[in-house]
Amino acid sequence: MRVDKIHYQARKNKWLGYFAIFCRITLALGFIPSGMQKILGERFTVLAVNHPMGNFLDAFFHTGYYYTFVGIMQVLAAILLLIPRTVSIGAFIYFPIILNICILSLSVRFDGSQITSPLMVCAVLFLLCWDYHKFKKIFPFNHNISKQDLPTKDELTKKFPFKFFAGVLAVILLVVFHTRIFYTILPRNTLSDCTTQCHDKNDKSCIDFCECIHKEGKSLEKCLEEFDKRN
């Protein structure tokens, strides 16, 4: 295919190879500091809450371990970009994160990353194109090439995979257990929905928690802290 020829010729150019290395290093440097701030539980910015981006980041900070998780994924993507064998994986992880940051920055007109985030998106796209030969078979225009590596209809076994579906059932039960039983109390979507958890209508600590969320507008972390003190 012509795309393969273009890609092959591009990889023969040593200056493009140097540029790929430059992109890997600068992208990694862009994510490691911000990712470590999240992992360490520090606020990412000192913007005022009434600022559109400041309001978003303040809410983001109060999401608990989701905030930490994003930081871990940022640092992981950065480290994978620095290792030659794992550049493609790093770029795949990096791309949705930076694309989300880019769209957010443009939508709220945030000066801090209004220019840098689109450039970072372009840099990641370049790295993905640079390693096109590693994952070209997933695209529909390479369907015939990919088909050669898959088993034919005659080669497919009719044996029912009991172990696999037992694992699927175990995962479903684990998710249901975690979401429905693991948490002591949930904020739910409305005040009335939240109070349905209060089996005893005189359970003041439960009702206070619901009002803390839906009436007082405090953070989940703060309301949970007050709830735990009452119990």
For residues 127 and 134, the answer to whether their CB atoms sit within 8 Å is: no
How distant, in Å, are the alpha carbons of 3, 155, 220 from that of 196? 59, 54, 18
- At residue 86, the pLDDT reads 94
**Measured distance CA(212)–CA(209) in Å, rounded:** 5
Are residues 195 and 114 both part of a single domain?
no
- At residue 109, the pLDDT reads 83
**Measured distance CA(123)–CA(95) in Å, rounded:** 9
Domain count, the chain: 2
**Measured distance CA(94)–CA(92) in Å, rounded:** 6
Question: Does 29 have pLDDT greater than 80?
Answer: yes
The larger pLDDT score, comparing residue 135 to residue 163, is at 163
**Residue 158 covered by a domain:** no
The larger pLDDT score, comparing residue 193 to residue 69, is at 69
Question: Does 35 have pLDDT greater than 90?
Answer: yes
**Residue 168 covered by a domain:** no
The larger pLDDT score, comparing residue 54 to residue 79, is at 79
Are residues 32 and 124 both part of a single domain?
yes
Are residues 133 and 19 both part of a single domain?
yes
Side chain identity at residue 132, one-letter code: Y
**Residue 104 covered by a domain:** yes
**Which residue, 138, 168, 198, sits at the end of a domain?**
138
**Which residue, 138, 170, 199, sits at the end of a domain?**
138
Query: How many helices (H) and strands (E) are present in the chain, helices listed first?
Result: 12, 0
Q: Report the predicted TM-score, pTM, of the whole model to 2 decimal places.
A: 0.78
- Placement of tokens 């369907």 in the chain: 143
With 0-12 / 13-18 / 19 or more C-beta atoms within 10 angstroms meaning exposed / middle / buried, residue 101 is buried
**Residue 201 covered by a domain:** yes
Torsion of CA 83, 84, 85, 89, to 10 degrees: 70
- At residue 143, the pLDDT reads 59
For residues 137 and 146, the answer to whether their CB atoms sit within 8 Å is: yes
**Residue 161 covered by a domain:** no
Are residues 123 and 200 both part of a single domain?
no
**Measured distance CA(54)–CA(128) in Å, rounded:** 32
Q: Which domain holds residue 81?
A: 2-138
Are residues 97 and 203 both part of a single domain?
no
**Residue 227 covered by a domain:** yes
**Residue 174 covered by a domain:** no
Are residues 207 and 111 both part of a single domain?
no
**Residue 48 covered by a domain:** yes
Of the listed ranges 22-26, 31-35, 45-49, 164-168, the one predicted with least confidence: 45-49
